[in-house]
Chains A and B, each alone.
Chain A
Amino acid sequence: MTRLSSTTTLALVMGGALLLAALNLGVAPTSQLHVSTYVVSLTGKYLCYAMLALAVDLVWGFAGILTLGHAAFFALGGYAMGMYLMRQIGARGVYANPILPDFMVFLGWDHLPWYWYGFDWFAFAALMVLLVPGILAMVFGWLAFRSRVTGVYLSIITQALTYALLLAFFRNDMGFGGNNGMTDFKDILGFSVQDETTRCALLVITAALLCLQFLVARYMVTSRFGKVLIAVRDTESRTRFLGYRPETYKLVVWVVSAVMAGIGGALYVPQVGIINPSEFAPGNSIEAVIWVAVGGRGTLSGAILGAVLVNLGKTWFTSALPELWLYALGAMFIFVTLLLPRGLMGLLPRRRSAAGVEPVVAAQEAAMDHETAVAQEAIE
């Protein structure tokens, strides 16, 4: 890693989170230095988005799979966590039913559906956070990569996937709260989710897990596995002819990426306090792609940087100039793709060109030229 080194990124993420937590808990509210709980949760939210961005970057930046449906995995992880949090409410809900969540009582259900069993147990919910997105990604990826669905076709069916889930989760009969989703959470592992200490702990945990994901992703892309992956991204057919099985490499990275997004969603829910089907909206997934593009596709630090900066911008815009936000977001899409193909990371001064991700961009550009030539020759 060059421009923004991995250590710097990790230090920034972890140090920032710890600093905010300390300023929230350790400094008197009257002090100038005090950081409100709102800011703590907001930062936690950004870091969850950064996990999603990292997941998107892993498949888009390194395997060339432009996913337009990654928010689906994020939301599924979020729903698994939401179900745990719903069960923790217990009899403190509006209808005071010790077993059934409020929305089920409201819909007149008399017993818990089977797929809600076990979610009162944190370890099970945590396992589901990993398994549900992971298994869905495995099935979807296995089907798609095996039949060599690539390029825009793959992008479109990932979008279809998240759209289908969006419609499904809007249905009340699904048993996930319909369009209201799940909210009014009380406890997580016995700690109140509203509590400042819990919020700070969640932020620090999110930051730590983000760093862990970063290291996993970095290990993956810098290992031999990562090199093959990059080869698959740049010329899949050539890699295949060399005797590799691109679909296996893609599938592995795809599943890992989905699980990472799921973890992000799971941490997102307690910090934001709500999960509803709009998280599945196709627009969300595409927005995640633009975070990566802004930060710098194919650079892991860039994904995190992009997610945090774009969302910071969104928070500022939507409160200060709400009607301009979509212009800004749209302009960002156009500007970055047209003029800044390497994202913000491409603007940072080059440092040493050590082993790692840097050569990727050059290779990628070479590949683009090649692709252009191929496409010009026999356009699809």
Chain B
Amino acid sequence: MRRLSHLLMIVLLTLAPAAGHADQADDAFADLASTNYDTIRQGVDLLAFSGHPQALAILSAMKDGRLYARTSDHRLFIKTDSGGFLDAVTGKAAPDVMASGLKQVRMNNPVRGEVDAALGSLSLMSPDPSARMTAAEAVFHSHDPAALPALDKAIAKETDPAVKQRLDQAHAAALLFSTDATDKDRLAAVAVIRARGDMDSRGLLDSLTNQPPAVAAAAHAAILSIDQVLELWSVVQSVYYGLSLGSVLLLAAAGLAITFGVMGVINMAHGEMVMIGAYVTFVVQQVIRAAAPGLFGASLLISVPLAFIVAGVLGIIIERTLIRWLYGRPLETLLATWGLSLVLQQAVRSIFGANNQDVGTPDWMSGATQVAGLTITFNRLYIIIFAAMVLAALMAALRFTSLGLSMRAVTQNRQMAAAMGIRTPWIDALTFGLGSGVAGMAGVALSQIDNVSPNLGQSYIIDSFMVVVFGGVGNLWGTVVGALTLGIVNKFLEPVAGAVLSKIVVLVLLILFIQRRPRGMFPLKGRAAEA
């Protein structure tokens, strides 16, 4: 009944826009001031279709609980944010109104629903395109046929193509649920919703009942086609998650690959370099919060070079004091660096405490965007970009700098390099510093997606080793392929097997893979491989 009255009212309105405004609005105001919920609901209805210029303001105020009625004469007032009152009907300030004589307009859930619906159809006409968009979406979800006339009007007036598309979709949805549409219109509506092709469209088509056979068949076909498209998007989404995990692994493993590749050194304290990078970020943010809050957005940009320097210098110190005594004894190096990692963890725990530290995310890194069927979270996206940049910088450094040249020479033939005048111990120290510095930068990125605690490095060290072992030693491309493969395989297994089981499966696959290729996917060729 109510819907019918809606419809009637809107038809009337469209036919005679000027007529009856005043009466209707006055009735509505009287109804709103009532204490009976049904009467209030009727008032909301009336007001929504009265075309009164204040209707939107009044209904929004009501939604927020800022609409009051004066007990003495049932006049409506809107409370402003500053605590003053406006006359609801005129929209002018009402300075002489006493709060004591006012009563809030009553609301319960049905009334609230009515207000939301009314706001929805009112917003279809809003001058703000994004508000119209939201309203169209709301109608799409409610697919209330009563909104059809309002939609028709809105579509006719709409100029923004994106909003128009949404309005068309909402129209199609409402039409499918109306009782008196023709088969032809219905089929067209199904086509519109099929073209939209998201989860909501599928749900909508799925909930259709009492349709003519042709329409039902079309809806069924549309569901299948949407499923296919959604399936495709979920694959793309998995690839994206895999890339994002892979780039994290790449960041953590790149430094390890360098030190392992050039020096044959297994650095078990590598994870702690990552952890230290994360703590550098924390310290930088603390300083910025205290000294220059305006710079917070740039905190990560400041942290990246700082983390590189701190971790790099630490790496050089470690190499000079510890690792250089253990060259040619890779297993001993492994144990000594493990011991070092325990000391570093405990040192950080002693200084900063064992709890997770709060590392903030700058505004430009938080949030997400929807690209077609793909959800892209900004922090993940930036980490992918960052990993690519770090990788490019590393490759350029190895390829074009004199340090890189020396490093490659030492990797290929240490004795010959020494004979040519390269100071190999110095190159070792710098290589170790470079690898540790890269780990430090990885820590800055990881601080954005993981808990910053003394155990941060531990959770990545095994994965990083797997990447290096999988990709092959001394080959950055191997590390890239290894990291991305492991990331993507992991994310594809996750929906099938669950997060933990998929990790186990990946580990077992790796153990088996090593049997086939004991030196990784891209082993070093030539005499070097025989050692």
Residues of A within 8 A of B (CB): 66, 68, 140, 143-144, 146-153, 155-157, 159-161, 163-164, 167-168, 170-171, 282, 286, 289-290, 293, 323, 326-327, 329-334, 336-338, 341, 368, 371-380
Task: Tell me if B340 and A155 are in contact (CB < 8 A).
Answer: no
Once bound together, how far apart are the Cα atoms of A329 and B340, in whole Å? 9
Other-chain contact of B327, A143, A326, A372 (Cβ < 8 Å)? A372
A selection of 28 A-B contacts at a CB cut-off of 8 Å is A66-B331, A140-B511, A147-B516, A153-B519, A155-B266, A157-B514, A160-B466, A164-B503, A171-B500, A282-B462, A326-B346, A329-B339, A330-B340, A330-B346, A333-B336, A336-B335, A338-B325, A338-B336, A368-B328, A374-B531, A375-B264, A375-B327, A377-B415, A379-B263, A380-B264, A380-B474, A380-B528, A380-B529
Shortest Cβ distance from A165 into B: residue: B504
Interface size class of B (residues with CB under 8 A): 35 or more
Judging by beta carbons under 8 Å apart, are A371 and B329 in contact?
yes
Question: How far is B510's CA from A164's CA once the two chains are assembled, in angstroms?
Answer: 11
When distances are taken between beta carbons in the complex, the residues of chain A under 8 Å from B469 are 153, 156-157
Interface of B is mostly: helix
Residues in chain B near residue A376, CB distance under 8 A: 327-328, 414-415
- Interfacial residues, chain B to chain A (CB-CB below 8 A): 262-264, 266, 322, 325-336, 338-347, 349-350, 410-411, 413-415, 462, 465-466, 469, 473-474, 500-501, 503-504, 507-508, 510-512, 514-516, 518-519, 524, 527-531
B528 touches A378 (CB 8 A): yes
Choose from B329, B501, B512 the contact partner of A368 (Cβ within 8 Å): B329
Inside 8 A of B263's CB, which chain A residues have their CB?
A: 379
| Contact of B331 with A323 in the complex, beta carbons under 8 Å | no
Expressed in whole angstroms, the minimum distance between the Cβ of A331 and any Cβ of chain B is 7
Does A160 lie within 8 Å of B500, measured CB to CB? no
Interface residues of A, dominant DSSP: helix
Contact A378 B339 (CB under 8 A): no
Q: How far is the CA of A12 from the CA of B243 in the complex (A)?
A: 58
- Say how far B425's CB is from chain A's closest CB, in angstroms: 12
Q: Give every chain B residue within 8 A of A323 (Cβ-Cβ).
A: 346, 349-350
**Complexed CA–CA distance, A146 and B330 (Å):** 22
Q: Please, how many angstroms separate the alpha-carbon atoms of A368 and B473 in the complex?
A: 22
| Residues of B close to A336: CB separation below 8 A | 335
Name A142's closest neighbour in chain B (CB-CB): B515
Check if B462 sits within 8 Å of A378, measured CB to CB.
Answer: no
Contact B528–A160 (Cβ < 8 Å): no
Q: A341 touching B336 by the CB < 8 A rule?
A: no
Quick one: which of B332, B339, B411 contacts A330, CB cutoff 8 A?
A: B339
A residues less than 8 Å from B410 (CB atoms): 379
Query: Given the complex, which residues of A lie within 8 Å of B264, measured CB to CB?
Result: 375, 379-380
Of the candidates B329, B462, B512, the one whose C-beta lies within 8 Å of that of A163 is B462
A380 x B414 contact (CB < 8 A): no
A121 → chain B, closest Cβ, in Å? 30
B507 A377 Cβ-Cβ under 8 A: no
User: Which residue of B has the minimal Cβ distance to A368?
Assistant: B329
User: What chain B residues lie within 8 Å of A332 (beta carbons)?
Assistant: 339
